[in-house]
Amino acid sequence: MAKTQNFTALFQGGTAAHGRTVLSCQEGKTEPGSKAEAKCSTIPGPATPADYEAHLTGGVGLGIVPIMADGYCRFGVIDVDEYGGDDGGSIRAAWKLGLRPFRSKSGGIHLYAFFSDPEGAGSVRALLGDIVQALGLPAGTERFPKQKEIAEGGTGSWINLPYYGDTRRMIKADGSEAPLEEALASCEAGRRGVAETRAMLSGLRFMDGPPCLQALALRGVEHGRNNFLFSAGLFFKAKGGGVEDELRSLNSELPSPLLASEVSAVAASAAGSPAKYRCTESPLCDFCNQKVCERRKYGINGPDRKTASFSFVRYGDIEITPPRWIVRGIIEEDALGAVVGDPASGKSFLALDLAASIASGKQWHGREIVRPGPALILAAEGRGGLSRRLRAWELDRGVKLKDAPIFISTSTAVLTEPEIMRKVGEAAGEIAEATGKPPSVVILDTWSRSLGEDENAAQATNAGFHALMNLRESWTTTGTGTSFIIVHHSGLGDKTRARGSSAFRAGLDFEYVLTRGSDDVLRFTCTKEKEGEPPTPQAFRFKHIDLGICDDLHQPVTSAVLETISYTEDKPGRKAGSGDLQHKAYAALQALGGKATAKAWRDACDEAGIPRAQLDRIKKDLIGAGLFGEDGAALFIEETPF
């Protein structure tokens, strides 16, 4: 009983829901290189003592959401997908960083960080991201918690716990597995704060040098030791240290050290060589992170790398030029802006509407497309709904987009992950080369899902802006003038401003707010225009379009487009219309776990005060907007409203 209580205390998490896993194959029989099959489900409510006990005794597997209701975490996890036994480096590195490695359900490794006091989820995710980089793991490596906060009515993402029955044990530094009692004591002893862990990271060897050397020093080098030590010798020489003494110390930490005479030979070669790091050779090339390396003092550019020049220009020498528009009166070239609004306000529809007009050259609600060209959409979610929305736009506008230069990302562009953004830049550069012109517009949908850090932090916000601006370097050979439009949520209290750090609005050239009134009208208003007079407000209404296809129940599939209407102010005190009711209806299904029978949803809507007589129309609107899906008698959330 004491073991169960201690295990429960160690793995405290969110109480809105927990995970349940039933394996479809016998535990421990997973083939190398493959994952065990399992049936997983999310159960509303907190895990009970009986759930923890069943997990430990090999009954039903238990998953816990690391982020608690207050947005804090007692532990964080890095999911290392290394199968087939090639995980010794991650295990060694974990112990050096104070993490605890456990075998996962699928045969990989979960690296746990246990905190002395609860830490904010945003800080935990940022720390785990830095550890991922230090270990040389792929930028997309999963981190738990997956969210920086749990949205109202949400549950968060859960992770399967270790010690299911007699499996998924903690792996000790020598590679052996620890019994539960020993693991519990070790995890308790290993608790530390985020600040303490960050201080340890900042003191690591090679933190100002190539990240590949940093990762290899943590993981331990078993093959290619000469290449590793030679490149390390170049680093020590650049810093002005004693090359041979440093290499002897480093060599002593390797799993299989070289002979002393071999180290001396490598040190002499490095000390007297003008050569550069052996970036293209193993094992360095296996952990290359060029973008980070270029920014470090002793990285591939070296300590004497040139910095950008700085100068002034006389005012009289500056040419005065008129605005260069992409969409006349709405979007200028070389600008950074945002479309801000509440969930289900239509801001993602509006951004996509702009992209389709710019890519096709079709007027945007009466405004000229001055500079038509490629439109890139960095979509963080809801990609399936985008194709239906674009098809509805084609049908309504009578314009074919099949050959238009409009491109949608197939994965999330995480702005604060340098390796991911490098790949985004490469893909965008290829599009610019293929089309012969740079993108006219790049749309990021949404900011909160793409930033990868705490949106309330000014430093993270500025880093995100910097990452977007750096994308321009990917297509400068084909021209400039690209503008960026960020889709973002409005503030919780003040709906006229963006959510998060004040640095967000301060860094924009323009900002538009889209609101959905009690009359179901979408009002588009400029709240910031850095260089001139803001355009007059505009108003839209959703127009539902039959796509000419049917679902598996032979029901017509619809989507929607924005239709221009005359602008009038929303009348305060008006009876709530379907805009408010749709929001409530969406929240009702979200509270049921995102999927429920139509009857259960209707009952929940009753409790929320939504008139039954309007539910059929509301359901049709939400399905047409791509927010709800229907599967027989069940409804499910298909997309998060932006």
Bond prior to 283 in cis (omega within 30° of 0): yes
Residue 638 has pLDDT above 90, yes or no: no
164 Cβ contact partners less than 8 Å away, ≥ 6 residues apart = 27, 55, 56, 58, 61, 62, 105
Per CATH, the architecture of 575-637 is what?
Answer: Orthogonal Bundle (1.10)
Per CATH, the architecture of 325-562 is what?
Answer: 3-Layer(aba) Sandwich (3.40)
Burial class (CB in 10 A: 0-12, 13-18, 19+), 603: middle
pTM exceeding 0.75: no
- Quickly count: other Cβ atoms within 10 Å of residue 186's Cβ: 15
Query: What span, in angstroms and rounded, lies between the C-alpha atoms of 410 and 413?
Result: 9
pLDDT at 106: 83
Q: How confident is the model at residue 35 (pLDDT cuts 50, 70, 90)?
A: low
Supply 104's token pair. Answer: 């996962």
pLDDT at 32: 53
Taking the CA of residue 31 as centre, how many other CA atoms within 13 Å lie in the half-sphere pointing to its CB?
Answer: 3
The alpha-helical segments, DSSP class H, found in 135-206 are 180-189, 194-202
Q: Average of pLDDT values for 240-266?
A: 93
Any idea which of 96-105, 111-120, 136-145 has the lowest mean pLDDT?
Answer: 136-145
CA angle (130, 133, 134) in 5-degree steps: 85
Amino acid at 79: D
Residue 411 has pLDDT above 60, yes or no: yes
CATH 3.40.50.300 region(s) of the chain? 325-562
In this structure, the chain runs to a length of: 642
Q: Are 527 and 497 in contact (CB under 8 A)?
A: yes
pLDDT at 37: 67
Beta strand ranges found along 49-104 (DSSP E): 61-64, 72-80, 100-103
Q: Average of pLDDT values for 478-484?
A: 75
Any idea which of 92-96, 299-303, 361-365, 436-440 has the lowest mean pLDDT?
Answer: 299-303
Residue 602 has pLDDT above 90, yes or no: no
Pairwise pLDDT comparison (95 vs 105), residue with the higher score: 95
pLDDT at 575: 40
Percentage of residues in the chain with pLDDT exceeding 70?
89
Q: Average of pLDDT values for 541-555?
A: 87
Per CATH, the architecture of 2-201 is what?
Answer: Alpha-Beta Complex (3.90)
Pairwise pLDDT comparison (628 vs 642), residue with the higher score: 628
CATH 3.90.920 region(s) of the chain? 2-201
Query: Mean pLDDT: which of 55-59, 202-206, 413-417 is highest?
Result: 55-59
Q: How confident is the model at residue 571 (pLDDT cuts 50, 70, 90)?
A: low
CATH 1.10.10.10 region(s) of the chain? 575-637
Name the phi and psi angles at 130, rounded to 5.
-70, -35
Q: Are 97 and 200 in contact (CB under 8 A)?
A: yes
DSSP per-residue letters across 260-314: HHHHHHHHHHHHT------TTSTTGGGG--HHHHHHSTTSTT-TTPPPPP-----
Residue 529's nearest CA partner among 504, 503, 510, 508 is 510
Q: How confident is the model at residue 95 (pLDDT cuts 50, 70, 90)?
A: very high
Residue 280 has pLDDT above 80, yes or no: yes
Quote the mean pLDDT of the chain: 86
